């Protein structure tokens, strides 16, 4: 149900606790697809199925898949011959499937289709003779995967507005920009505006590269944070979209904490708190949301209120190798 914001209440004596639950939250279509690819591969091929890197950035999800027979590795040289391997939702450089094909490994690509769309845009911009300024976070798997779609030297990373003043390109240089899909909507808009101010002819994507799920979850936090004394974000410390949700809440003037499981919550966090906002990053399952509610209910009488910022109905197709034998 939807409801208006309650007023803040800092009374220490309150035993009731209002929990504003953000919607949408948790799994996005790309994460659903990636997890289903691993699960269906385990059914089709039987365990073990190898997965290069964490399929998504969530320890709970990874541990559940391990229990079913998935083995997670850092690189392909850890994968034995004649076993299937799945590439994570964040995408991989072109060299990774090329290596798999050279070894005749059967692979399943769980790259989110919205990340793959950015990959194809990168290829087209380089083919058009433009150097790409890529807005993203250094070291993130999605950034590494996108850089690996084009020849070395054809893409430059831009992380902040301050980076733009240091760029060596002349105003007349043919340039394009693309972005990581899990960035802060507001921060990225500022970086793009600064790029366009310095390079008026820079070419951007036809549609926003920040994915619908990232945008929707940030919008939902903007709904719950102003009426909350504390916002809890369920997500992994290496999850870009989860970290951005913490930042969004803090920019609304609300204390926010990133937690991986309910056990991370400290009772003292609730001192003087009458309303808690609760959301989950795109890699966090709904089971962890319910776990947090149960934990809070151990200390206070919880009243749940869901605030909906958007409805999501996106579904992505599975790889053909899996649908041919299971549908």
∠ Cα 185 189 193 (to 5°):
175
Whether the CB-CB separation of 41 and 87 falls below 8 Å is answered with no
142 is catalytic: yes
DSSP three-state, residue 31: helix
Q: Which residues contact 183 (CB under 8 A, 6 or more apart)?
A: 135, 136, 137, 210, 214, 240, 244
**Catalytic site residue from 39, 75, 142, 298:** 142
d(CA 49, CA 246): 34
d(CA 311, CA 286): 16
d(CA 151, CA 164): 22
For residue 108, the tally of other CB atoms under 10 A from its CB is 22
Q: Which residues contact 191 (CB under 8 A, 6 or more apart)?
A: 135, 158, 160, 161, 164
Tell me the C-alpha to C-alpha distance, in Å, between residue 286 and each of 24, 26, 213, 265, 280: 11, 6, 15, 17, 8
Q: What proportions of the chain, in percent to the nearest 5, are helix, strand and coil?
A: 40, 20, 40
Burial of 1 (0-12, 13-18, 19+ CB in 10 A): exposed
Alpha helices in the chain (DSSP H): 29-45, 59-68, 95-102, 113-127, 141-147, 161-164, 185-198, 212-224, 240-251, 286-299, 320-326
Residues labelled catalytic:
142
């Amino acid at each position: 149900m939807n409801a208006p914001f309650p007023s803040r209440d800092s009374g220490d004596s309150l035993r009731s606790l209002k929990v504003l639950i953000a919607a949408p939250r948790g799994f996005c279509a790309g994460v659903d697809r990636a997890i289903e690819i691993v699960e269906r591969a385990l059914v089709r091929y039987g365990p073990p199925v190898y997965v290069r890197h964490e399929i998504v950035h969530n320890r709970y999800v990874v541990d559940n898949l391990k229990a079913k027979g998935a083995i997670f590795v850092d690189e392909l040289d850890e994968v034995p011959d004649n076993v299937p391997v799945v590439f994570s939702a964040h995408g991989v450089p072109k060299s990774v499937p090329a290596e798999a094909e050279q070894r005749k490994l059967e692979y399943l690509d769980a790259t989110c289709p919205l990340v793959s769309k950015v990959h194809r845009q990168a290829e087209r911009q380089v083919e058009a003779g433009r150097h790409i300024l890529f807005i993203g976070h250094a070291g993130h798997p999605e950034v590494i995967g996108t850089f690996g779609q084009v020849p070395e030297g054809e893409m430059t990373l831009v992380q902040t507005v301050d980076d733009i003043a240091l760029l060596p390109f002349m105003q007349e240089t043919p340039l394009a920009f693309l972005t990581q899909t899990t960035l802060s909507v507001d921060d990225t808009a500022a970086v793009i505006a600064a790029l366009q101010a310095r390079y008026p002819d820079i070419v951007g994507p036809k549609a926003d590269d920040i994915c619908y799920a990232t945008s929707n979850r940030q919008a939902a936090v903007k709904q719950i944070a102003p009426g909350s004394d504390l916002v809890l974000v369920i997500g992994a410390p290496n999850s870009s979209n989860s970290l951005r949700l913490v930042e969004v809440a803090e920019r609304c003037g609300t204390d926010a904490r990133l937690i991986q499981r309910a056990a991370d919550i400290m009772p003292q966090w609730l001192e003087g708190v009458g309303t808690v906002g609760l959301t989950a990053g795109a890699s966090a399952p709904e089971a962890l949301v319910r776990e947090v509610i149960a934990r809070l209910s151990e200390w206070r009488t919880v009243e749940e209120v869901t605030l909906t910022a958007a409805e999501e109905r996106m579904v992505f197709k599975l790889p053909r190798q899996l649908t041919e034998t299971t549908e």
